[in-house]
Amino acid sequence: MAENEPQKSAVYPGTFDPITNGHLDIARRALRLFPNLILAIAPNPRKTPLFTLEERLEMIRQATEGLDGLRIESFDGLLVDYVAQKGASAIIRGIRAVSDFEFEFQMALMNRKLDTSIETVFLMPSEEYSYLTSTLIKEVASYDGKISTLVPKPVTEKLREKYGSKAS
């Protein structure tokens, strides 16, 4: 990269309710490609989150301490507008399985239609996280299942509080 060339940045959007080790894996992979990454928490009108926006922001801050080049923010509105406002050139999306691809592909094409200057980059998580979803984590935690190897420690603790359980 030339000395005066600006560093590329990307936005990794999601509801992150809660953030999982799979999300962190994607964030680390994205930071290898983009020295500046914004992990952007988005509300999703189709979902009712377990955690408030403030709780999610705090858990993510704790879970990502020490990841250089990462900023954590929240946003509302069209993703491409937010990405353009931040001066980013790419949207990061994780693809766990073929079942994710159709929806993600549709979204990527719509985002490209809305702003041709923004690319979507699909990243696959490590195999050990390829089945992991926030929904699955919440379900397992609600039955006192062992989740400590699947989510960061602050998330395990918050899930214990929410479900009044041992969620380990």
Dump pLDDT digits (tens) for 69-128.
999 999 999 999 999 999 999 999 999 877 788 889 999 999 999 999 999 999 999 999
Domain total for the chain? 1
Q: Is 134 a catalytic residue?
A: yes
Mean pLDDT for the chain?
91
23 carries an active-site annotation: yes
Does 90 fall in a domain?
yes
In 3-state terms, what secondary structure has residue 159? helix
- Is 14 a domain residue? yes
Which is catalytic among the residues 47, 61, 146, 166? 47
- Catalytic residue, from 56, 93, 134, 158: name it: 134
pTM for this prediction: 0.91
Kindly state whether residue 134 falls inside one of the protein's structural domains: no
Q: Answer yes or no: is 3 within a domain.
A: no
Domain holding 84: CATH number?
3.40.50.620
Catalytic residue among 71, 86, 96, 162: 96
Q: Is 133 part of a structural domain of the chain?
A: no
Give residue 53's domain range. Answer: 9-128
For residue 137, the tally of other CB atoms under 10 A from its CB is: 25
Catalytic-labelled residue, pool 9, 23, 29, 158: 23
Confirm whether 158 is a catalytic residue. Answer: no
> Where does the pLDDT of residue 1 fall: very low under 50, low under 70, confident under 90, or very high at 90 and above?
very low
In a domain, 17, yes or no: yes
Contacts of 131 by beta carbon, 8 Å cutoff, 6+ apart: 96, 97
With respect to residue 147, please indicate whether it lies within any of the assigned structural domains. Answer: no
Q: Is residue 158 part of a domain?
A: no
Q: Examine the residue annotation and report whether 8 is marked as an active-site residue of this protein.
A: no
